[in-house]
């Protein structure tokens, strides 16, 4: 695949060096097209050495090859990182003062922008309007990360880490022609991931084996399809996906509160987290110690059924609710019973235990729907299952 990596004039341009290395290591040909001012941060020789291809900033270089047209026409993906406020404004206005802006005008492939700028610039109405314009034209504009910016400043506007940007690029490439029309642009979605922990004391908890990998795959897939994604993550230890707002939680109660809050204006909610059914009635403030005698029984109480509560609330008209059902027995019969009990629109049922599903890079499932559809998904990468789930959600959105 041929990728054009556009680089805007921001200090975060240094991160694009690592992104370039990661993309080339996956076997793709990457042509770097920096803006002229970005060369103040990373020089052209660096890009040429890392990519093994020539670097130009002006459409007047190598005119006989018509680079201002050919690069966009021939690319399978244009990925801009960092996309500065100035660059987003030029792209939204259709200006073409340099080679990169010409490429953006001639591209007939998916285009992804990874913004990076100070918080005030990201939140400015002009930038927000430009982002809305670009998304309306079918481009994917990832949400920036929050964190340390230039100097002592901190807040939303940070460029996500290169490894996650690479994952985002590969997700868009994997969609092929479908990536030209991101079907979740303008949609707000909520995904839960990981496994909740119910504390017994400051050092012990009741938990499960869920790693969060499937939920993170769902979040990445939704972002690559243009959605505004909120990820409620329970004890995963995974890097934040690029373009995704992440809320960290520990217990089932915390996860419930975070999901219910995020679901208020969401078009779809996918509950991939493994939520503990019970929690201790009492949490000890001090570590429970051995006494040499039989310990006191641990009294448990039920946690709220978050999926059923979401299905009953339906915070907005047409909201789609999907859940997961981890099973060790009859997949279909147990899944159908759970689908009816929860009242959700889709239920993804999969076999777990003995090395299956939890903590693995692959998954196998059957997706059951309230309208009677059954979609088997053969064993494969969790990203592939995530795409099938979003296919089914997208076609049900109104």
Instruction: Retrieve residue 373's tokens.
Output: 């559809």
Distance separating alpha carbons of residues 370 and 339, to the nearest angstrom: 7
Phi, psi of 179 (to 5 degrees): -65, -15
**Structural contact between residues 271 and 322, judged by C-beta atoms closer than 8 angstroms:** yes
**Structural contact between residues 223 and 142, judged by C-beta atoms closer than 8 angstroms:** yes
* Residue linked to tokens 């938990």: 207
Distance separating alpha carbons of residues 65 and 362, to the nearest angstrom: 44
Distance separating alpha carbons of residues 279 and 253, to the nearest angstrom: 9
Asked about 208 being catalytic, the answer comes back as yes
Instruction: Retrieve residue 115's tokens.
Output: 């913004």
Distance separating alpha carbons of residues 234 and 1, to the nearest angstrom: 36
What does the longest C-alpha to C-alpha distance in the chain come to? 87
Distance separating alpha carbons of residues 288 and 202, to the nearest angstrom: 9
Instruction: Retrieve residue 350's tokens.
Output: 């999969």
**In the chain, what is the straight-line distance between the N-terminal and C-terminal CA atoms, in Å?**
34
Strand partners, 327: 351
Cβ-based neighbours of 120, under 8 Å, separated by 6 or more: none
Distance separating alpha carbons of residues 44 and 33, to the nearest angstrom: 9
Distance separating alpha carbons of residues 238 and 241, to the nearest angstrom: 9
Q: Which of 102, 208, 303, 350 is catalytic?
A: 208
Q: What share of the chain is helix, strand, coil (3-state, %, to 5)?
A: 35, 25, 35
**Structural contact between residues 24 and 47, judged by C-beta atoms closer than 8 angstroms:** no
Question: Could you list the active site residues?
Answer: 208
């Amino acid at each position: 695949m041929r990728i054009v990596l556009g680089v805007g004039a921001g200090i975060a341009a240094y991160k694009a060096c690592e992104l370039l290395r990661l993309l080339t290591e996956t076997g793709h040909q990457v042509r770097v097209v920096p803006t002229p001012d970005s060369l103040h941060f990373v020089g052209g020789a660096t890009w040429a050495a890392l990519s093994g291809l020539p670097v130009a900033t002006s459409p007047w270089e190598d005119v006989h090859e018509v680079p201002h047209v050919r690069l966009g026409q021939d690319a399978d993906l244009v990925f801009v990182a960092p996309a500065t406020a100035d660059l987003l404004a030029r792209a939204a206005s259709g200006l073409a003062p340099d080679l990169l802006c010409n490429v953006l005008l001639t591209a007939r492939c998916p285009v992804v922008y990874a913004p990076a700028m100070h918080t005030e610039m990201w939140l400015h109405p002009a930038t927000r309007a430009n982002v809305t314009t670009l998304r309306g034209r079918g481009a994917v504009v990832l949400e920036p990360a929050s964190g340390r910016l230039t100097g002592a400043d901190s807040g939303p506007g940070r460029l996500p880490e290169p490894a996650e940007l690479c994952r985002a690029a590969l997700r868009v490439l994997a969609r092929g022609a479908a990536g030209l029309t991101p079907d979740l642009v303008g949609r707000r979605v909520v995904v839960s991931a990981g496994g909740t922990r119910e504390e017994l004391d400051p050092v012990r908890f009741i938990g499960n084996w869920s790693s969060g990998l499937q939920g993170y795959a769902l979040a990445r897939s939704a972002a690559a399809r243009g959605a505004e994604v909120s990820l409620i993550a329970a004890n995963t230890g995974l890097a934040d996906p690029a373009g995704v707002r992440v809320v960290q939680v520990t217990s089932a109660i915390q996860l419930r509160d975070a999901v219910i809050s995020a679901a208020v204006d969401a078009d779809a909610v996918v509950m991939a987290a493994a939520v503990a059914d019970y929690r201790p009635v009492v949490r000890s403030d001090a570590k429970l110690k051995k006494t040499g005698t039989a310990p006191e029984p641990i009294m448990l109480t039920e946690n709220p059924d978050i999926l059923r509560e979401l299905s009953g609330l339906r915070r907005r008209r047409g909201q789609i609710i999907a859940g997961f059902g981890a099973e060790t027995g009859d997949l279909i019969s147990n899944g159908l019973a759970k689908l009816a009990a929860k009242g959700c629109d889709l239920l993804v049922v999969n076999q777990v235990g003995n090395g299956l599903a939890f903590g693995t890079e692959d998954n196998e499932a059957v997706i059951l729907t309230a309208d009677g559809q059954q979609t088997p998904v053969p064993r494969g990468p969790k990203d592939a299952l995530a795409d099938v789930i979003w296919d089914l959600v997208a076609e049900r959105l109104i």
